[in-house]
Amino acid sequence: MALSSTSAFAQDAATDPAAAPATEAEAAVDAAEPAADANAGDDTTIVVTAQKRSENVQDVPISIVAFSGDTLEKNNVVNLEGLTKVTPNLSVAKGAQTSYVRLAIRGIGAASNTTVEPSVAVFLDGAYVPRVGAVVSSMLDMESVEVLRGPQGTLFGRNASVGAVSFHTARPKLGDFSGEVTGEIGNGDRYKLTGFVNVPVGENSAFRLAGSQQWFKGFWHNNLDDKQYGGTDDSIVRGSFRTEQGPLEWIVRADYAKISGDGATNIDFDPTSVTAAQFNIFANVVGLGAPDTDLKDNDMNQFVTADVDDEQWGINSTLSWDVGGGSTVRLINNYRDWENEQLDGDVLFAPSPVLSRTGTFDSKSQNHELQFISPTEQWLDGRLDLVAGLYYFHEKYQQGENLHMNTQFCKIAPAAAVGLCNTFLAANGGTKENATVQVVNQKVDSYAAYAQANFHFTDQLFATAGGRFSKDKKEGDYDQQTNALLAAVRATESLTFPDVNDEKFTYRLGLNYEPNEDLLFFGSYSTGYKSAGYNSGAGSPSLTTVAGQFVPERRVFDRETTENWELGAKTSWWNRRLTANLTFYRMDIKGFQDRAFDGTSFTVRNAGNLRHQGFELDVVGKPLRNLSLYANAAYLDSEFTEYDNAPGLPGCAPRTIAGVPTIPAACLGLPFQGQRQDLKGVSATFAPKWSGRVGFDWTGDVGSTGMTFDLNSNASFVSHHFGGLQNDGNPQTIIDGYVLLGARATLNGQDDRWSVSLFGNNLLDKQYEAGNLYQLLGTNLLQNNGIFTGSTAVRRLHADPRTYGVSGTFRF
């Protein structure tokens, strides 16, 4: 059987503490020294499966970064968000709901708590995970992670229009009885216990069981009730079985994860976004109380009734058959069930019980993929190799939103409705649960056939050509029921979505030159797409009612397509002690599927066209056997080339007066600050010009004790960028650039039987924001047009403060 990427990572990490690669460049450097007694020129490779087959990462003509499980641990990466510290041009944005994760590559992504398909596809053990919110749990017993930058529309499909992230869990090891247990204590009252056991069954089979339990109270202190928030208890277990019988290898994995707790977020009020008078109105006039305004502390001041219940399970079967002649047929079958329900507290983030929300998300999906992988050096005298496959995906997805009127709701009601509001709440015991109820259903069936071939004209020159035909079918329905007092926030609306039938041929063409084993130059043109879909956002007035006419087509948005050009080089020097990889790219996105906020809710539409271009650089030097130095950087030039119907600045959103949308008087006659504006030439959100990291990894012996040490430190940086939840060019949403310092120091016992680690992230305690949003009901709370015409109150999502802890591991 061919050695898989996960096995290669595990072997190199085990034989040489310095050999766990942190990037594609590091992987190549470490390939030269896989063992303590190896020579620098040994022909040992680190392999990845970015093109469905096992390949040396330096031979793959795409922009890719790869990490072993050991490297993730060294860099304190325990979840999806942590990958951004080690991967330039990858960003992960969070929101008030745990189900909201915006995963973006090269500045392009999509919110995960809507029916919009992701722009970055996520795969777990070769199977597509349709909802990114389902991967918020810790990465348990990982062997490798691959981040593929740029469209992967040929081999990975319609929802990899700008890239893909592929997670590989540890495979059971044949003939090896082993295990480990790790205990960990961290700030924020965090305690964690994790481990695995690998049990052989005869010579050709093995079981592996891994589990993790974390208890975490959170980082945020709430001044209102003197309690601690932001924590969850996480339970994860995964069992896997592997057997090899003649030409067959079969791996079956089953996993279960549960997250419970408050899951509350610290969303501070930015006092510089409004005038002092407006802030006083928010805090005093409507009786909401003063929110926390200090962006540099770990305090919050808001009414919290938050509760999250996230549960999922999945099963994966991967059957590989060596059909002879070096060819392999592989069948992957996968089923995943994810449910998330969260009461995320007061949605005004005020110190009063005003209006709370319960969000529900339920995804049941299945993947089936049949692959054929040819040998690389046998067809046509080594001139041709091929990867081909058939694919089917099915998902039933339901999301919902219920708003609850709490005891102080009538403080924000219009003056004419206060009496009616008080009477209504009094009749309902002072509160009204489920004052609005939304249910959205969607069913998706996707079919695809793909093939990609390499044509070797000479030993140094080869071309890549591949294509994928995808066909997508969608159907569903939308129902929004509303209490009369909330009609201005959520309009009653009910319909069956028009059927969506979308299909697209995406392809990849490349020309590659490899003059020797240390140099690879490549150029490529590739395409990707996201299918048309349904707008699940609620609001007022009804989206499907236009001039008294019912227009269900307004709930449908069109496809998004991507064209990508790349020119790159992968180079190794001085017997692979220095590796430098550089990729220039240009992506053109047409029909960009974007969200717009109207003051009460988000809607999705085709925004226009984007151009994202820049470069990605990965450099690793290994001046000594036990010392690695690395530096990564990415430059991104983001610009809308067409968006003449973009949302206006939030303070100019139309108000509904007597049932008629009316633009505020201050905004009349302002062509670029009215209800709509032209964003041509403006950059997109979460698209910083610069991102990257620098760091080192140093290992060595502790005298003659038989013990070893490992010191790792890195500083990651991101330049300033728009960080709002919609593209509107509002300077109020700019996030300042920041640098984060992390480190880990580990002492290993004799024969690596035990280890003790001290670790920390954000060691300089940089108080920065992970994103921002506009104050809900800002118009009703008189927060608009204070600092400048179009301005409004801004809420800033506080990112994690300094974190630190100690862990101990015992291995057997």
pLDDT tens-digit profile of 266-314? 999 999 999 999 999 999 888 888 999 998 899 999 999 889 999 999 9
* Residue 328 and residue 321 in contact, taking contact as beta carbons nearer than 8 Å: yes
Residue 2 has pLDDT above 50, yes or no: no
First to last CA, the chain: 27
Per-position DSSP letters for 320-338, written without gaps between them: EEEEETTEEEEEEEEEEEE
313: which 2 tokens? 């399970």
Residue 566: its pLDDT value, please?
98
514 within some domain = yes
Residue 113: its pLDDT value, please?
79
Q: What is residue 17's DSSP assignment?
A: G
CATH code, domain with 285: 2.40.170.20
Indicate the pLDDT class of residue 655, thresholds 50, 70 and 90: low
**Among candidate residues 52, 51, 56, the one with its CA nearest the CA of residue 8:** 56
CA-CA distance, 412 to 778, in Å (whole number)?
A: 10
Residue ranges making up the domain that contains 442: 198-811
Q: Over the stretch 688-738, which tens digit does the pLDDT of each residue have?
A: 999 999 999 999 999 999 999 999 999 999 999 999 988 999 999 999 999
Weakest mean pLDDT among 206-215, 423-432, 622-631, 775-784: 775-784
Which residues neighbour 570 within 8 Å (Cβ) at sequence distance 6 or greater? 24, 28, 58, 59, 61, 519, 520, 522, 579, 581
The whole-model pTM stands at 0.90
**Among candidate residues 257, 271, 261, 438, the one with its CA nearest the CA of residue 345:** 261
Residue 643 has pLDDT above 80, yes or no: yes
Q: Over the stretch 174-227, which tens digit does the pLDDT of each residue have?
A: 999 999 999 999 999 999 999 999 999 999 999 999 999 999 999 999 999 999
51 within some domain = no
CA-CA distance, 91 to 120, in Å (whole number)?
A: 11
CA-CA distance, 155 to 188, in Å (whole number)?
A: 42
Cross-strand pairs, 212: 194, 236
144 within some domain = no
Compute the mean pLDDT over every residue in the chain, rounded to the nearest whole number. Answer: 88
Residue 31 has pLDDT above 80, yes or no: no
* Residue 201 and residue 242 in contact, taking contact as beta carbons nearer than 8 Å: no
Residue 403 is which amino acid? L
Q: What is the dihedral of CA 107, 6, 239, 261, to 10 degrees?
A: -30
Indicate the pLDDT class of residue 676, thresholds 50, 70 and 90: confident
CA-CA distance, 134 to 121, in Å (whole number)?
A: 13
The two counts, helices (H) then strands (E), for the chain are 5, 51
**Among candidate residues 306, 303, 285, the one with its CA nearest the CA of residue 223:** 303
Q: What is residue 736's DSSP assignment?
A: P
CA-CA distance, 161 to 186, in Å (whole number)?
A: 38
Which residues neighbour 399 within 8 Å (Cβ) at sequence distance 6 or greater? 113, 114, 115, 359, 360, 361, 362, 440, 536
Residue 675: its pLDDT value, please?
67
Domains of the chain: total: 1
75 within some domain = no
Which residues neighbour 665 within 8 Å (Cβ) at sequence distance 6 or greater? none
Weakest mean pLDDT among 41-55, 256-270, 571-585: 41-55
Indicate the pLDDT class of residue 455, thresholds 50, 70 and 90: very high
* Residue 63 and residue 90 in contact, taking contact as beta carbons nearer than 8 Å: no
Residue 660 has pLDDT above 70, yes or no: no
Question: Per DSSP, which regions of 187-231 are E strands?
Answer: 190-201, 205-216, 220-222, 227-229
The mean pLDDT of 581-597, rounded to a whole number, is: 91
CA-CA distance, 314 to 587, in Å (whole number)?
A: 34
Residues in the chain: 812
440: which 2 tokens? 């959205």
Give φ, ψ of 633 to 5 degrees.
-150, 145
Residue 786 has pLDDT above 70, yes or no: yes
Quote the longest CA-to-CA distance of the chain: 86
**Is the link from the previous residue into 541 a cis peptide, with omega within 30 of 0?**
yes
Residue 41: its pLDDT value, please?
29
Cross-strand pairs, 680: none
- Taking residue 44's Cβ as centre, other Cβ atoms within 10 Å add up to 18
14 within some domain = no
Per-position DSSP letters for 639-660, written without gaps between them: EEEE-TTEEPPGGGSPEEETTE
Residue 172 has pLDDT above 50, yes or no: yes
Which residues neighbour 298 within 8 Å (Cβ) at sequence distance 6 or greater? 219, 220, 221, 266, 798, 801
Burial of 560 (0-12, 13-18, 19+ CB in 10 A): buried
Percent pLDDT > 90 in the chain is: 69
Residue 11 has pLDDT above 80, yes or no: no
Residue 598: its pLDDT value, please?
56
Residue 543 has pLDDT above 80, yes or no: yes
- Taking residue 5's Cβ as centre, other Cβ atoms within 10 Å add up to 24
Name which residue leads in pLDDT, 96 or 318: 318
Which residues neighbour 702 within 8 Å (Cβ) at sequence distance 6 or greater? 708, 709, 747
What are the angstrom distances between the C-alpha of 153 and each of 160, 363, 531, 603?
A: 6, 23, 12, 26
Residue 659: its pLDDT value, please?
55
Which residues neighbour 14 within 8 Å (Cβ) at sequence distance 6 or greater? none
What are the angstrom distances between the C-alpha of 166 and each of 109, 135, 195, 275, 337?
A: 16, 12, 22, 47, 19
Residue 267: its pLDDT value, please?
93
Residue 718: its pLDDT value, please?
96
548: which 2 tokens? 């008294």
The mean pLDDT of 476-505, rounded to a whole number, is: 93
Give φ, ψ of 213 to 5 degrees.
-135, 125
63 within some domain = no
Residue 23 has pLDDT above 90, yes or no: no
Indicate the pLDDT class of residue 671, thresholds 50, 70 and 90: low
Cross-strand pairs, 747: 709, 756
What are the angstrom distances between the C-alpha of 74 and each of 17, 223, 757?
A: 10, 36, 10
Residue with the two structure tokens 């969506």:
500
Weakest mean pLDDT among 143-152, 409-418, 672-681, 795-804: 672-681
CA-CA distance, 572 to 31, in Å (whole number)?
A: 11
Indicate the pLDDT class of residue 376, thresholds 50, 70 and 90: confident
Burial of 746 (0-12, 13-18, 19+ CB in 10 A): buried
108 within some domain = no
Q: What is residue 285's DSSP assignment?
A: I
* Residue 235 and residue 257 in contact, taking contact as beta carbons nearer than 8 Å: yes
Degrees, nearest 5: CA angle 56-57-62: 130
Residue 706: its pLDDT value, please?
92
176 within some domain = no
Instruction: Identify the three-state secondary structure at position 81.
Output: helix
What are the angstrom distances between the C-alpha of 428 and each of 355, 406, 423, 695?
A: 15, 11, 9, 60
CA-CA distance, 341 to 307, in Å (whole number)?
A: 8
Indicate the pLDDT class of residue 46, thresholds 50, 70 and 90: low
What are the angstrom distances between the C-alpha of 716 and each of 493, 619, 658, 766?
A: 46, 15, 52, 12
| CA 44 to mean position of chain CA atoms | 32
The mean pLDDT of 759-782, rounded to a whole number, is: 92
- Taking residue 469's Cβ as centre, other Cβ atoms within 10 Å add up to 14
